[in-house]
C-alpha cells in the first residue's frame, strides 16, 4: 500500500489552505480530510496494481526487489483482492462526499468521484503503457498531482487559480525528472531493462529538463501570488512574501538531488530532510497568516 507515499496526497489540502477566509462548503475540514483518506485508498490500489504488473522487473531492482509482491512475501492474488477492496471503498466514499454529506446543489461540485476515477484511470494507463514512453511518463505522473489539487478544491466547493494548477504541474514535472535521473544514474547500463523509457533519457537531458521546470515553477508561483482572483489586492501584496520559501525549497531539492543523490524517493525526502520540512511548514504558516490577517 506504500503508506509513506500518502504524503503526496497532502496536496489535496492546498485548496483549503489557499482559501482561508473565503466562503467554503459546510464542514469543509471534514470533507477535505475524508477526501484525503479516500485518495490514499485509491492511490494504494494503484500502487498494488503496479507492483503486480512489475513484479518480475522489480526483482532486478536494488531497492524495489524487497517489496512484498516482488519478494514473494505476498501473493499476487491476495494483493489483487486488497486493491479491489481499497478501490471500492474509495469510490463509494467519494460518492458519499458528492451526494450524501451535505452535498451541494451545483453539479460542478459533484465531481469529486469523477476526479478520483480519472486519477485511477490515468495511473492504470501509466502502469500498462505510459510509463514506457519517454517524457510522457513524467507528464502522466504530473497530471496525477494536478488531479489531486483539483479534487481538494472541488470537495470544498472553491475554485483554484489556473496559475496555481500550472505551478503544481511544473513542480511535479521537476520532481518526476529528478526521480528519473536518480533511476538512470543508479541502474546505469541496466536501466533500460527495468524501465523501457529510461534508455531514451540521458543525465544531461534530465538535468536540462529539471532546470527548465524549476525555473518555470518559480515564475508561475510568483505570478499566482499577485494575480489570483481569489485574493484581495492586500492579500496579493503580502502573498509575494511567500515566494522566497518556494525558491529555497526548489533550490534545496536540487542540492539534495545533485549532492546527496536523494531524488529517488521524493516522499522520503520531504519527510526526512529537516531544512526542507521546516521550510515547507514556514511557507504554509506564512500563507495562512497572510490570508487570515489579510
Give per-residue pLDDT as tens, 164-221.
899 999 999 999 999 999 888 887 665 555 567 788 899 999 999 999 999 999 999 9
Pick the more confident residue, 223 or 103: 223
d(CA 81, CA 95): 21
Domain ranges of the chain: 1-159, 161-294
What is the pTM for the complete model shown?
0.87
Residue 12 has pLDDT above 70, yes or no: yes
Query: Can you tell me the mean pLDDT for 69-81?
Result: 90
Residue for grid cell 500502487: 47
Which grid coordinates belong to 112?
469529486
Task: Spell out the SS3 assignment of the chain.
Answer: CCHHHHHHHHHHHHHHHCCCCCCCCCCHHHHHHHHHHHHHHHHHHHHHHHHHHCHHHHCCCCCHHHCHHHHCCCCHHHHHHHHHHHHHHHHHHHHHHHHCCCCCCCHHHHCHHHHHHHHHHHHHHHHHCHHHCCCHHHHHHHHHHHHHHHHHHHHCCCCCCHHHHHHHHHHHHHHHHHHHHHHHHHHHHHHHHHCHHHHHCCHHHHHHHHHHHHHHHHHHHHHHHHHCCCCCHHHHHHHHHHHHHHHHHHHHHHHHHHHCCCCCCHHHHHHHCHHHHHHHHHHHHHHHHHHHHC
So what CATH class is 1-159?
Answer: mainly alpha
Higher pLDDT, 93 or 72: 93
For 4, 182, 196, 199, the CA distances from 153, given in Å and listed in that order, are: 23, 32, 35, 38
Other Cβ atoms closer than 10 A to 198: 21
Amino acid at each position: 500500500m506504500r503508506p509513506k507515499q500518502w504524503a503526496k496526497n497532502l496536496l489535496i489540502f492546498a485548496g483549503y489552505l489557499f482559501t482561508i477566509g473565503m466562503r467554503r462548503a459546510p464542514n469543509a475540514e471534514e470533507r477535505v480530510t475524508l477526501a484525503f483518506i479516500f485518495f490514499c485508498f485509491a492511490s494504494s490500489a494503484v500502487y498494488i496494481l503496479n507492483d503486480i504488473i512489475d513484479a518480475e522487473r522489480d526483482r532486478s531492482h536494488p531497492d524495489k526487489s524487497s517489496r512484498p509482491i516482488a519478494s514473494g512475501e505476498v501473493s499476487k492474488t491476495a494483493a489483487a483482492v486488497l486493491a479491489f477492496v481499497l478501490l471500492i471503498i474509495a469510490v463509494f466514499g467519494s460518492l458519499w462526499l458528492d451526494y450524501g454529506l451535505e452535498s451541494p446543489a451545483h453539479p460542478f461540485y459533484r465531481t469529486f468521484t469523477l476526479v478520483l476515477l480519472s486519477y485511477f484511470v490515468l495511473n492504470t494507463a501509466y502502469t500498462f503503457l505510459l510509463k514506457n514512453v519517454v517524457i510522457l511518463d513524467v507528464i502522466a505522473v504530473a497530471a496525477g498531482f494536478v488531479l489531486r489539487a483539483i479534487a481538494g478544491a472541488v470537495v470544498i466547493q472553491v475554485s483554484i487559480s489556473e496559475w496555481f494548477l500550472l505551478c503544481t504541474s511544473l513542480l511535479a514535472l521537476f520532481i518526476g525528472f529528478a526521480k528519473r535521473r536518480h533511476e538512470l544514474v543508479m541502474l546505469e547500463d541496466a536501466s533500460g531493462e527495468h524501465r523501457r523509457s529510461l534508455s531514451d533519457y540521458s543525465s544531461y537531458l534530465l538535468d536540462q529538463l529539471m532546470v527548465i521546470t524549476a525555473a518555470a515553477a518559480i515564475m508561475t508561483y510568483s505570478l499566482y501570488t499577485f494575480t489570483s482572483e481569489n485574493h484581495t489586492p492586500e492579500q496579493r501584496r503580502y502573498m509575494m512574501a511567500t515566494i522566497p520559501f518556494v525558491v529555497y525549497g526548489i533550490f534545496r531539492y536540487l542540492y539534495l538531488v545533485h549532492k546527496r543523490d536523494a531524488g529517488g524517493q521524493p516522499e522520503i525526502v520531504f519527510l526526512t530532510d529537516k531544512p526542507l520540512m521546516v521550510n515547507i511548514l514556514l511557507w504554509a504558516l506564512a500563507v495562512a497568516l497572510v490570508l487570515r490577517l489579510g
